[in-house]
Structure 1
Amino acid sequence: MESDALGWWGVPLAVIAGAIRVSTPFFFVSLGECVTERSGRINLGLEGTLVMGAMSGYGTACLSGSPWLGILAAGCAGGLFGILHALLCSLPRVNDIALGIALMLFGTGLAFFLGKPFIQPKAPGLPSIDLGWWSSLPQVRSALEVNVLFLAGIAAAPLLAWGFRNSRWGMIVRMVGDSSDAARAMGYSPDRVRLLATAFGGFMAGVGGSFLSLYYPGAWSESLSSGQGITAVALVIFARWNPLGCFWASLLFGGAGALGPALQSVGVTEGYYLFNAAPYMLTLLILILSSSSRRRLAGAPAELSVTR
């Protein structure tokens, strides 16, 4: 274990390493869902999209020998699921929350079915960048070994935050999310804008899934995802629909997920399963604290179904 040589100092080091690795799928899924929800639509099917992206990315990398093509394939698969969600939601009397749950089950089952041939083969993994080159300690170097997708997520968060405030597309997405009538009066189609926003959210979730299969843990199996997709929806609410908030919330959840293994590595076995449940307990706590029957959530788009 990484923490053995460093004793208790290895615990925060392992948590930092976990925050870097575990948070990356949360980055992409929550940032994509942030755009989707800012347009006034919620997609609860992201768990299925994430798993489908993981399978598509791994399978494409196996067949092509290129993990970069795997990332592209994963994003495209996620985008197709986003488009399907948006098209079905545009039909009369279709509830986006119920549809999201249905697509989550469909995407998960389809990925498991199509991914059976890729359980045994080994796909080429994504390369990492050694940011701990300055240290002679292997534990430090391992903790600071980051994937390019982590750095891409760091860059995407401020870019999206800037775009929402200063760009034309950001204004359109926010206007559609706050008032469909105002958007129509300005000549914009809410369904078209939400289609593009949901497709973008699906693309980002697919890319997040490719990180799971091509880097960490770096294999394809039916137990690959443990609720990252649905947890990311809670992250967006916790971050108050702010991309920068999604970034920090993802790091928080990544660190919480690494707490249990870090403590176990230094001999803390009492309540081990309780520490492993920390991310899910944190999700439940966030949902409880952010719920209110008297006022709309601060920063929430007015057209979002969960705020009505």
Structure 2
Amino acid sequence: MSAEQWMLLFSGMLGGALRVGTPFLFVSLGECLTEKSGRVNLGLEGVLVLSAMVAFAAACLGQSAWTGVLAGAVAGGLLAALHGLLCSLPRVNDVATGIALMLLGSGLAFYGGKPFIQPQAPQIPAWELGQWSSSPALQSALRINTLLPLGLLLALLMAWGLRHTRYGLLLRLAGDSASAARALGHSVTGIRILATTLGGMVAGLGGASLTLFYPGSWNEGISSGQGLIAVALVIFARWSPLRCIGAAALFGGAGAIGPALQSVGMGWGYHLFGTLPYALTLLILVLSCKPGRLAQGCPGELAAAKH
């Protein structure tokens, strides 16, 4: 390939890592917060799809992208709160409830979103960070979603809060040893419901990013399984909000390889490269979930649930 083609390829992968990685970042941060409390939310796919639809619908009706962002976060929080409340009932399984909520959220989104498949909604403004370059490809790659800096700041705040604040300590205590938290007089159920709800709101920002920035429209296949991939992302990041940034960039870049190769005229294997995020997910789960071996950083209550 020529130098120009290499530049196009690099720009395409960089742009993809930033655009595709933004929803991954929010969803993985939301799941990280939930799992730190000792609960798994496999319904995150439903949360993502529902929040994406609600954000798009609210932006259409309110003619404001930020109205849509707020609505998406609220919708994600409400569905996640339902998951938290149901899982707090006796003899209710987190995984089974998550699958049911995934189907519920997707069904509600598909039903409520039918009138919004064709219309256009106001989009989240972008930061044009590539104006210094004369390359249109690099300018496009550095067209940053305004929510991305918010996600990076949120990851930093989560990492600091979990380590240095009383609330972060209580959250980690509930996730590592529920009996110890109860012995100290804290409500493990309340902590987990709150963490699951907040995690759903964070994931809802990822849903809003899907429909209000990239790809910037609503359709029933908008998430492509990103909510489920987020569970593997959190394992890969070893339950660290800061590592979620790198994991999201990696998965975003993997998803951008196919389009980047197509942009330089290499059409062969386009659909094959599109499967890379799913292949990475499978690889991470195979390497991390070995019998008798706990993934580093795994909350104690989740580890106990495996036995």
The answer for the alignment partner of 2:50 in structure 1 is 52
Cross-structure match for 2:197: 199
Among residues 27, 45, 64, which one is paired with 1:29 in the alignment?
Answer: 27
Return the match for 1:18 from 2, 16, 19: 16
Matched, 1:282 2:277: no
Aligned to 1:62: 60
Cα distance in structure 1, aligned partners of 2:104 and 2:231: 18
1:304 aligned partner: 302
The offset of 1:135, in angstroms, is 1.2
Report SS of the residue matched to 2:144. strand
Aligned residue number for residue 258 of structure 2: 260
Structure 1 length-normalised TM: 0.96
Change in CA separation of 1:4 and 1:76 when aligned onto 2, cut-off 3 Å = farther
Gaps of 5+ in 2: none
Output one character per residue of 1:112-157: Cα deviation in whole Å (capped at 9) or x when no partner: 0011111122111110001112112211111101011111111111
Aligned residues: 306
**SS in structure 2 at match of 1:110:** helix
**Equivalent residue number for residue 94 of structure 2:** 96
1:91-170 equivalences in 2 (<5 Å)? 91-170=89-168
- Per the TM alignment, residue 4 of structure 1 is displaced from its structure 2 partner at its CA by 10
Percent of aligned pairs with the same residue? 58
Report the CA distance between 1:87 and its aligned residue.
0.5
Q: What's the secondary structure of 2:242's corresponding residue?
A: helix
Alpha carbons 1:300, 1:307 under 8 Å: kept: no
* TM-score, normalised via structure 2 length: 0.97
Q: By how many angstroms is 1:6 displaced? A: 2.7
Inter-partner Cα distance in structure 1 for 2:57 and 2:273: 33
Task: Report the Cα distance in structure 2 between the residues aligned to 1:265 and 1:4, rounded to whole angstroms.
Answer: 13
Structure-1 separation of matches of 2:172 and 2:100: 27
Gaps of 5+ in 1: none
* 1:222-237 equivalences in 2 (<5 Å): 222-237=220-235
